[in-house]
């Protein structure tokens, strides 16, 4: 299996460096990393070039689209179009992970299922205490509380329950949900639903939309992340879920998807906007 990691970034080369360093010390390295940039004005590519030679995975591509507001769905599709792996894992710039996390995708990933994890949400204080040594070792247990680990375990059991209940009640199967920066699936399964729907502009609902379409197409969610898990570094949240501008569109699409329309309205094969991203092979 060839794994492509699609790593989303915006204006934070410091966080991006930590994520790439974490990927570089996973027990299973990615075969390629595609850095997708949603219009940073900061020179992110130059920052990555400074240390790319020290990263052990084979290929790094930097894919930047113009800044026309929040267009994460389109940015992720840019990465999918360029990906050469047969399995794709989605990662965000503010995500770290335990050492064996990526290997579980390699070990358990298979067509017809997406694998999804649940992150430990680090506090502002915990995030400030993360050291380069911990990132290199992919070991953050000294920072974490028992309560935080229990949340991850509890979600593992809930998602496992949803997976097995879905076998009994397939007509109501739509959980576990897609969680944008913590899931992976076969590239062919993404192509089956034509990737993310680029009509989701602004924050929110693009992941839920993709999940609903995957289930309708027969691609079901599963978790294997009980002892290995991602961690989400703290940062301010400017938008609440209930304030997403995409909710009316998503609500309309739910009915259409339920009736069998599981391909993106504007997806990989028919992008919404005409601004072609720039693609640079850094390594």
The pLDDT assigned to 171 comes to 65
Positions of the chain with pLDDT lower than 70, given as ranges: 171-172, 237-242
Parallel, antiparallel or unpaired: strands 95-97 and 183-186: unpaired
**Domain 3-281 class in CATH:** alpha beta
pLDDT value at residue 242: 56
Closest by CA to 88, choosing from 21, 206, 19, 8, is 8
**Can you give the pLDDT at residue 244?**
83
The confidence score (pLDDT) of residue 15 equals: 96
Secondary structure class of 264 (helix, strand, coil): coil
Residue 66 CB neighbour total at 10 angstroms: 13
pLDDT tens, residue by residue, 169-213: 776 678 999 999 999 999 999 999 999 999 999 989 999 999 999
Closest among 108, 98, 115, 103 to 156, alpha carbons compared = 115
Residue 141 is classified by DSSP as G
Angle at 98 between CA 95 and CA 102, to 5 degrees: 80
Q: Measure the CA–CA gap between 92 and 95, rounded to whole angstroms.
A: 5
Q: What is the pTM (predicted TM-score) of this model?
A: 0.96
Map out the domains of the chain as residue ranges.
Answer: 3-281
Please tell me the predicted confidence (pLDDT) of residue 238: 54
Residue 283's alpha-carbon distances to 37, 52, 55, 182, in angstroms, are 17, 7, 9, 24
pLDDT tens digits for range 97-107: 999 999 999 99
Q: 7 pairs with which residues across the strands?
A: 35, 91
């Amino acid at each position: 299996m060839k794994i492509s990691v699609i790593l989303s970034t915006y204006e934070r080369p410091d966080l991006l460096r930590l994520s790439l360093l974490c990927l570089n010390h996973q027990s299973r390295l990615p075969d390629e990393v595609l850095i997708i940039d949603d219009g940073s004005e900061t020179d992110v590519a130059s920052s990555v070039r400074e240390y790319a030679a020290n990263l052990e995975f084979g290929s790094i591509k930097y894919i930047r689209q113009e800044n026309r507001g929040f267009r994460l769905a389109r940015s992720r599709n840019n990465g999918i179009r360029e990906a050469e792996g047969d399995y794709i894992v989605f990662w965000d710039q503010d995500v770290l992970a335990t050492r064996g996390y990526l290997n579980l995708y390699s070990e358990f990933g298979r067509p017809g299922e997406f694998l999804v994890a649940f992150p430990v949400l680090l506090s502002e204080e915990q995030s400030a205490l993360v050291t380069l040594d911990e990132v290199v070792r992919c070991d953050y247990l000294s920072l974490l509380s028992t309560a935080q680990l229990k949340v991850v375990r509890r979600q593992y059991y809930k998602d496992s329950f949803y997976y097995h209940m879905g076998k009994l009640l397939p007509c109501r199967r739509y959980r576990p949900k897609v969680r944008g920066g913590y899931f992976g699936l076969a590239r062919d399964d993404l192509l089956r639903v034509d990737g993310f729907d680029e009509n989701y502009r602004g924050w929110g609902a693009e992941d839920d939309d993709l999940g609903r379409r995957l289930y309708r197409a027969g691609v079901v969610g599963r978790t294997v992340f009980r002892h290995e898990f991602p961690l989400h570094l703290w940062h301010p949240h400017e938008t609440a879920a209930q304030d997403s501008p995409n909710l009316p569109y998503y609500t309309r699409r739910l009915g259409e998807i339920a009736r069998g329309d599981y391909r993106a309205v504007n997806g990989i094969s028919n992008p919404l906007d005409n601004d072609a991203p720039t693609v640079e092979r850094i390594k």
